């Protein structure tokens, strides 16, 4: 984890308002009330065989319905492999998937509802006091959806050819909570989603902790946790190792407030933390603290493309390691990536303001990228106690700036320590930038910006130079 470089009292003063919000959120996110009930319904008592070959869907669903009708409790999965089509959580029900138990998502189109928006192995819709726990596994069997193994990206089965949906991302998600209140997911392993893994949509009061997520590293779109239009969410002590974005807040139909992420370990071929790119509404009051990011293609990312505004975000005590992968994956090894621009000619740019980066350490093959746009400035950005170490260790192409999705795509640009565009207000305090290798060999510009688009920069104790062993 990141080493504290400032006196503790100073750091506490800087982030205290944000921690107050985080603490308030944590107090709201209690486990579902049904966790305290003793009533347990075993799926085997309702006919589930758990042999991984025969479908146990109707037996599992019968146990869930009985539990809900009894006023709530736990639905227990003893050791075994339970092959299933979509199962539906009801209010007051917690799935208790015990150690040694594995819920296997079906791989047939007929295993999922007719509406593609409801393609989940486990689905909770408009219910309260629900959760998943037990120490066991939910497995989406994502590799069964691979049509062709590829060194760059695996080619995935897309069910759009059936007419059920459109686009290349027509695959089932793993677990979804849609329009729910008081959700808890803890002490469970989520493996091999064919598409997004854990999806939180229009929910209020969600707690996710001690969850392990693993997705194939060469599979696109297998995001770890997507938080969409939801408020009062706490994620802590989670480990995420996946091919696409690890933790991804989005706004499609409404704003996203009060998200706290702490004490997590992340590895991804895309962004470890990414706001957007779906960004039609505002993001406000988000805290990311004490996080380790390892071998990722991008560390902390903001992709605002649809007119929503971002404000009041804190990133603190974070260790980042980013590297290049094939350019077919979004990202160019940026440890910090803050961008806003219109997605296309029909979209408008949103703004990003009041970002605090404090106690950040990064070891990266590329520099920081801060890019606003004419209609969407970046304003009031603060970097305090930041150590940036730059060196090359892969053979992938450098010298590219990545604006994707939309905007200007991949653009040739010399490597720089920090690239800045369309900024109004940037404070840099106690920032150390170190370079491995020859500065004249592509690493020749610590700060890259045009004065015509960048204003009100403050540098206090900024250092840049070659790394000395």
Q: What is the pLDDT of residues 379-429, one digit of tens each?
A: 999 999 999 999 999 999 999 999 999 888 999 998 999 999 999 999 999
Q: Count of domains in the chain?
A: 2
Domain encompassing residue 413: 1-30+245-469
How many whole angstroms separate alpha carbon 106 and alpha carbon 216? 17
The tokens describing 92, both together, are 């007051």
**Residues 148, 123: one domain?**
yes
DSSP reduced 3-state for 58: helix
**Residues 10, 64: one domain?**
no
**Residues 26, 45: one domain?**
no
Q: Report the predicted TM-score, pTM, of the whole model to 2 decimal places.
A: 0.92
**Residues 20, 140: one domain?**
no
**Residues 25, 173: one domain?**
no
**Residues 134, 266: one domain?**
no
Query: Number of helices (H) and strands (E), helices first, in the chain?
Result: 2, 35
How many whole angstroms separate alpha carbon 84 and alpha carbon 56? 6
Q: Residue 85 in contact with residue 106, Cβ under 8 Å?
A: yes
Where would I find the beta strands (DSSP E) of 59-149?
73-77, 80-84, 87-89, 93-97, 101-105, 120-125, 128-133, 137-139, 146-148
Q: What is the pLDDT along the chain (469 residues), one digit of tens a residue?
A: 443 333 333 333 334 333 334 433 333 344 444 444 569 999 999 999 999 999 999 999 999 999 999 999 999 999 999 999 999 999 999 999 999 999 999 999 999 999 999 999 999 999 999 999 999 999 999 999 999 999 999 999 999 988 888 888 999 999 999 999 999 999 999 999 999 999 999 999 999 999 999 999 999 999 999 999 999 999 999 999 999 999 999 999 999 999 999 999 999 999 999 999 999 999 999 999 999 999 999 999 999 999 999 999 999 999 999 999 999 999 999 999 999 999 998 988 899 999 999 999 999 999 999 999 988 999 999 999 999 999 999 999 999 999 999 888 999 998 999 999 999 999 999 999 998 876 545 677 899 998 899 999 999 999 998 877 6
Query: Is 226 a member of any domain?
Result: no
Contacts of 259 (CB under 8 A, 6+ apart): 25, 227, 230, 233, 234, 235, 249, 285, 286, 287
**Residues 26, 53: one domain?**
no
The tokens describing 407, both together, are 């905007």
Beta-ladder partners of 211: 188
Q: Residue 181 in contact with residue 205, Cβ under 8 Å?
A: yes
What is the enclosing helix (H) or strand (E) of 210? strand 204-214
Query: Is 306 a member of any domain?
Result: yes
The tokens describing 346, both together, are 């029909």
> How are beta strands 101-105 and 80-84 bridged, if at all?
parallel
End-to-end, the C-alpha distance of the chain in Å comes to 22
- Number of Cβ atoms within 10 Å of the Cβ of 384: 23
């Amino acid at each position: 984890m990141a080493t504290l470089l400032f006196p503790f009292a100073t750091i506490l003063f800087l982030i205290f308002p944000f921690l107050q919000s985080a603490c308030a959120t944590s107090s709201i996110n209690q486990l579902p009330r049904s966790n305290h009930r003793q009533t347990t319904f075993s799926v085997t008592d309702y006919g589930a065989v758990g042999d991984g070959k025969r479908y146990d869907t109707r037996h599992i669903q019968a146990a869930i319905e009985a539990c809900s009708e009894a006023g709530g409790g736990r639905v227990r999965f003893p050791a075994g492999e339970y092959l299933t089509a979509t199962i539906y959580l009801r209010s007051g029900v917690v799935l208790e998937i015990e150690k040694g138990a594995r819920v296997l998502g079906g791989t047939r189109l007929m295993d999922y509802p007719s509406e593609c928006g409801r393609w989940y192995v486990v689905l909770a819709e408009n219910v309260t006091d629900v959760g998943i726990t037990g120490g066991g596994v939910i497995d989406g069997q994502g590799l069964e959806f691979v049509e062709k193994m590829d060194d760059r990206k695996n080619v995935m089965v897309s069910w759009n050819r059936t007419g059920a949906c459109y686009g290349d991302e027509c695959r089932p998600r793993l677990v979804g909570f849609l329009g729910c209140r008081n959700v808890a997911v803890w002490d469970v392993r989520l493996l091999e989603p064919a598409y997004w893994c854990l999806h939180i949509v229009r929910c209020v009061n969600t707690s996710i902790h001690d969850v392990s997520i693993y997705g194939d590293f060469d599979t696109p779109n297998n995001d770890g946790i997507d938080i969409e239009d939801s408020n009062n969410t706490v994620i802590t002590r989670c480990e995420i190792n996946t091919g696409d974005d690890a933790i991804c807040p989005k706004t499609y139909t409404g704003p996203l407030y009060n998200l706290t992420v702490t004490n997590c370990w992340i590895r991804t071929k895309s962004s470890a933390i990414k706001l957007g790119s779906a960004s039609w509404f505002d993001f406000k009051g988000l805290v990311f603290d004490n996080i380790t990011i390892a071998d990722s293609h991008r560390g902390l990312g903001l992709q605002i493309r649809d007119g929503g505004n971002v404000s009041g975000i804190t990133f603190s005590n974070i260790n980042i390691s980013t590297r290049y992968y094939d350019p077919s994956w979004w990202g160019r090894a940026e440890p910090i990536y803050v961008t806003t621009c219109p997605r296309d000619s029909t979209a408008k740019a949103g703004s990003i303001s009041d970002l605090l980066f404090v106690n950040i350490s990064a070891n990266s093959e590329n520099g920081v990228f801060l890019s606003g746009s004419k209609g969407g400035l970046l304003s009031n950005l603060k970097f305090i106690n930041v150590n940036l170490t730059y060196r090359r260790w892969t053979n992938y192409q450098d010298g590219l700036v990545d604006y994707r999705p939309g905007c200007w795509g991949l653009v040739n640009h010399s490597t720089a320590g920090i690239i800045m565009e369309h900024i109004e207000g940037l404070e840099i305090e106690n920032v150390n930038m170190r370079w491995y290798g020859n500065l004249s060999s592509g690493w020749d510009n610590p700060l890259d910006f045009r004065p015509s688009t960048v204003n009100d920069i403050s540098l206090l104790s900024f250092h840049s130079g070659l790394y000395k062993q």
